Structure formats: C-alpha cells, structure tokens
Amino acid sequence: MKLKNVNFTSIIIVSMFVLCYPFLKALTSQSNRLLVFLDALTINSLLMVLFGMIYHLHLKGDFDATAYFIHNSSSKQHISYDDFCAQRQEKRKGSFNYPLFLGLFYLVVSYLAARLLY
C-alpha cells in the first residue's frame, strides 16, 4: 500500500459507511451501548479486512487468468494474455486498498478502546 495514492475524501466516505452500523446498533441497544458499539465495530472491521485481502489479491493480478478466460469466451475480440494483463495492470495502477487499511485501523481502534475501557 502506497500512502501517496490515498484520497482522504474517500476515506471519510468509507468511514461513514463503516461507522453507520455500529452507531445505529449502539443507539438501539438497551444497556452497555459502548460495548455494543465496539462489538459491532470489531465485526465490521473483520469483514473489511476479509474483503481487503480479496481486493489485495485482485490488485496483485491473481484473478487475471480467470478474467481473461471469461473475457475471451464472452467477447468477439480476442487479445493475447500478455496484452490483457498489461491493460488490467494499467487500470490498477495507483489504486489504494481502502477496505484493508480502514479495516485494520478500526480493528486496532476497537481493540485499544476495549482494553482501556473494560
């Protein structure tokens, strides 16, 4: 992950979506709202880490062979595998893995908050 490719408006938008469920879950809880918030945040963080690891594989090109097979079987124009991989790599250039970064960040935040408060 190169931090020079980070778009902070995207981080803010994704963070709002990540924090929405734990916040609503804590509001609807009858007791111990902070614990409910931290539990929901931990679950969201673990899911984001999972999706981030899959997206990391995508960014590294591990699914290019499958995409090439699907592209050539469904398209009339056939291109070589090397050209296809070069096109895909050019599209992925400069991408940042927001789910993995934010998932790890919120996982650490929820762990530290739970250790400090409970």
d(CA 106, CA 101): 9
Residue 101: pLDDT over 80: yes
Q: What is the pLDDT of residue 72?
A: 87
pLDDT at 99: 93
pLDDT band at 3 (very low <50, low <70, confident <90, very high): low
Instruction: Look at residue 104 and tell me whether its pLDDT is greater than 90.
Output: yes
- List pLDDT tens digits, range 81-99: 999 999 999 999 888 999 9
Flag whether pLDDT at 39 surpasses 60.
yes
Between CA 99 and CA 51 the distance in angstroms is 7
DSSP annotation string for 49-101:
HHHHHHHHHHHHTTTHHHHHHHHHHH-S----HHHHHHHHHHHHTT---HHHH
- Average pLDDT score over the chain: 91
The whole-angstrom separation of Cα 52 and Cα 65 is 20
Would the pTM of this model clear 0.85, i.e. be above it?
no
